[in-house]
Chain A
Amino acid sequence: DAKTTQPPSMDCAEGRAANLPCNHSTISGNEYVYWYRQIHSQGPQYIIHGLKNNETNEMASLIITEDRKSSTLILPHATLRDTAVYYCIVRSSNAGNNRKLIWGLGTSLAVNP
């Protein structure tokens, strides 16, 4: 069962920031938040992950609320190539089968010219 809730679709203008929300109200203390995206007809692509601190890399920023019940993935300057389905996933840091990723339906982001 998916542990996250995401809006099914979003639109964003090219050049603007895309802010993708994710609710994970039942997250436990040892669970990380991961973000992947999947461009049409390609395999998923890892974007970023975090535990409780905000994270930034060359692709995106991840903002996690203080209570860790929700997070936002930020693409600072969206381009047409960022059009994809974005998946927010929580995953235990413990060894064993709890480490598997449980994928939901994601958010389909359309970046418009």
Chain B
Amino acid sequence: EAGVVQSPRYKIIEKKQPVAFWCNPISGHNTLYWYRQNLGQGPELLIRYENEEAVDDSQLPKDRFSAERLKGVDSTLKIQPAELGDSAVYLCASSPTGREQYFGPGTRLTVT
């Protein structure tokens, strides 16, 4: 069974530029999560989807971050414009039951 797929794996951009991350969850997993992980810290939830509905986006900085999950399958997380403090690893996870979560390898973003 294929795992959670994320792309790109690495991204380097200049501040004020836009960036987008893509996630394809495990087939059949209705719940999808986006996390941000800073160096030496645990992951921090940005948004959770149940199918195509965002049911928890309380931690998403909505002035510059946006996400979508059209058709309830794959998802895109966007930052526009990026700031230096956005440098982090962005993780996508999916779950069949809302209990155990299965993570992708993440996208390491560097903003210069």
Q: Which residues of A contact B (CB under 8 A)?
A: 2, 32, 34, 36, 42-46, 49, 87, 97, 99-101, 103-106
Contact = CB atoms under 8 A, between A and B. Distances in A.
Given A42-B106, A43-B93, A105-B40, 14 more contacts: A32-B99, A42-B105, A43-B91, A43-B103, A44-B103, A45-B103, A46-B100, A49-B99, A97-B56, A101-B43, A101-B45, A103-B43, A103-B44, A104-B42
A12 B102 CA distance: 26
B42 A105 contact: yes
**Main SS of chain B's interface residues?**
loop
Contacts of B42: 2, 87, 103-106
B45 A46 contact: no
Contact of B58 (A87, A97, A101): A97
Interface string B57-94: 01000000000000000000000000000000001010
Given A43-B91, A46-B101, A100-B56, A105 B41 contact: yes
Contacts of B105: 42-43
Interface of B: 4, 40-45, 48, 56, 58, 91, 93, 98-106
Contact of B48 (A2, A45, A100, A103): A100
- Of the candidates B43, B45, B48, B56, the one having the most CB atoms from chain A within 10 angstroms of its own CB is B43
Contacts of A45: 103
A46 B102 contact: yes
A68 to B, nearest CB: 18
11 contacts: A34-B100, A42-B105, A46-B102, A49-B99, A49-B100, A97-B58, A99-B98, A100-B56, A101-B101, A103-B41, A105-B40
